[in-house]
Amino acid sequence: MDNIKVFDGHNDTLLNLHLPRRGERRSFFQRSDLGHLDLPRAREGGFGGGFFACYVPYPQDDDRNEESALTRTEDQQIDPEYARSFADDLVADLFGLQSEGGLRVVRTVGELERCLREGVVAAILHFEGAENLGPDPAALEELFEMGLRSLGLVWSRPNAYAHGVPFRFPSSPDTGPGLTEAGKDLVRECNRLGVLIDLSHLNERGFWDVAELSEAPLVATHSNAHALCPASRNLTDPQLAAIRDSGGMVGVNFAVGFLREDGGESEDTPLKTVVRHVEYLVERVGIDGVGFGSDFDGAKVPKELGDVSGMPRLLAALRDGGYDDTALEKLARGNWVRVLRTTWQG
Ligand SMILES: [Zn+2]
């Protein structure tokens, strides 16, 4: 029924394909029951593209999901040399997918819209954690030239720029200090180049530092409402108000641990729970400030959704919730396109 094209704020498909223990050597080009996202299932689900994250796990964490509320400590920094070399492998993987066709790395909104029209998966190269730049932050410009268009200052651990929010439940996101001087410089540099700054995984003080400094709309690519699920990874009402005031947006995360009010990891989480977060975020940020940030291949998602091919079921649930075509188009991709146009300045 719903053939609305979706553009999505976050997936961990590159890592899932990269690490054999996770992806079990599935191919992006062949339909699989493993993971959440491949080209055949993307076409089935109307997935027009999204942010493809380069996330570097701790060396000992190779078999874990990126988002996991399991008890773990995220207080260790990761060596920037290691992070950069791992991220370089993921970047090479992404351009490898592009060279086989069916997916294109996009650098402008024009390119993104062309992909959506032509049915080619539009991929935004996103770094999840600025340690992936390597030891010298000046690498940002070189990576920008190569195609990097989105950067999370941190994953849920500290680095030279900021402090990520550790996975806690229930917990405030106010878990530590704000940005370092290097972090503030990096925000200015992202603004200068037109690189989107992703606030998901940043702790609350870091969030407010970016809010004060950045000239771009505030964006959390894959986070939910703290009022409905008090996980440290979710956004409080004052944060949502700041995002609204900046003309920014939130990508709704399908990770069950960030959806459920008990913070549990059960896949028996109804789609209605996703709808409830959308409704709440729309109430707080506005219909122009909410989209999707699925976390496919990086988290446990509701069984009722299954994988990317289940997106039409979510759109149908939102339609049942009262969203008309115009609203659904905004939620599904229009808001991402708008925010990217402002942020990238082109
Ligand atoms: Zn994440």
42, 311 contact by CB (below 8 A): no
Provide the pLDDT for residue 324. 98
CA of residue 152 to ligand 1 center, whole Å? 9
pLDDT confidence of residue 22: 64
Model pLDDT, residue 19? 87
State the CB neighbour count (10 A cutoff) for residue 234.
28
Ligand 1 centroid distance, CA of 67 (Å): 6
DSSP string, 19-48: SHHHHTT--TTS--SSSS--HHHHHHHTEE
> What angle separates helix 181-193 from helix 204-213, to the nearest 10 degrees?
50
**Centroid of ligand 1 to alpha carbon of 185 (angstroms):** 23
Number of residues in the chain: 346
Torsion sign (Cα): 50, 47, 167, 17: negative
What φ, ψ does residue 123 adopt, rounded to 5°? Answer: -115, 125
Amino acid identity of residue 119, one-letter, is G
CA of 128 from ligand 1 middle (Å) equals: 7
CA of 253 to the centre of ligand 1 (A): 9
Q: What local confidence, expressed as pLDDT, does residue 115 receive? A: 97
Q: Output the CA 50–ligand 1 centroid distance in Å.
A: 14
Average pLDDT over the chain, rounded to an integer: 95
Q: List per-residue pLDDT tens for the chain, 346 residues long.
A: 456 899 999 999 999 999 866 657 899 999 999 999 999 999 999 999 999 999 999 887 766 788 874 545 668 899 999 999 999 999 999 999 999 999 999 999 999 999 999 999 999 999 999 999 999 999 999 999 999 999 999 999 999 999 999 999 999 999 999 999 999 999 999 999 999 999 999 999 999 999 999 999 999 999 999 999 999 999 999 999 999 999 999 999 999 999 999 999 999 999 999 999 999 999 999 999 999 999 999 999 999 999 999 999 999 999 999 999 999 999 999 999 999 999 998 6
Closest to 337 (Cα-Cα) out of 45, 75, 84, 5:
5
Instruction: Output the CA 12–ligand 1 centroid distance in Å.
Output: 8
List the structure tokens of 327: 């609203």
- Spatial contact of 210 and 202, defined as CB atoms under 8 Å apart: yes
> How is residue 101 written in tokens?
């066709």
Placement of tokens 């060596």 in the chain: 79
- Determine the pLDDT at residue 62: 61
222 CA distance to ligand 1 centroid (A)?
Answer: 7
Residue 60 has a pLDDT of 77
How confident is the model at residue 1, as a pLDDT?
Answer: 45
Alpha-carbon distance 42 to 310, whole Å? 10
Å from CA of 66 to ligand 1 middle = 6
Q: pLDDT digit string (tens) for 115-165?
A: 999 999 999 999 999 999 999 999 999 999 999 999 999 999 999 999 999
Q: Which residues, in sequence order, are CB contacts of 232 under 8 Å at separation 6+?
A: 165, 166, 167, 168, 169, 171, 172, 173, 175
Q: 147: how many CB neighbours lie within 10 A of its CB?
A: 16
Question: Would you give the distance in Å from CA 22 to the centre of its chain?
Answer: 19
48 in Cβ contact with 146 (< 8 Å): no
Centre of ligand 1 from the C-alpha of residue 129, in Å? 9
CB 314 within 8 Å of CB 304: no
Cα of 126 vs centre of ligand 1, distance in Å, is 11
Q: Where are the alpha helices (DSSP H) in the chain?
A: 13-18, 20-23, 39-45, 80-100, 109-118, 139-146, 181-193, 204-213, 237-245, 256-259, 271-285, 311-320, 325-329, 335-344
Going from the Cα of 61 to the center of ligand 1, the distance in angstroms, rounded, reads 15
CA of 201 to the centre of ligand 1 (A): 7
Answer whether 52's CB lies under 8 Å from 15's CB.
no
Instruction: State in Å: Cα 1 to ligand 1 middle.
Output: 31
Using CA atoms, how far residue 163 sits from 144, 171, 219, in Å, is 23, 16, 17
pLDDT at 346: 67
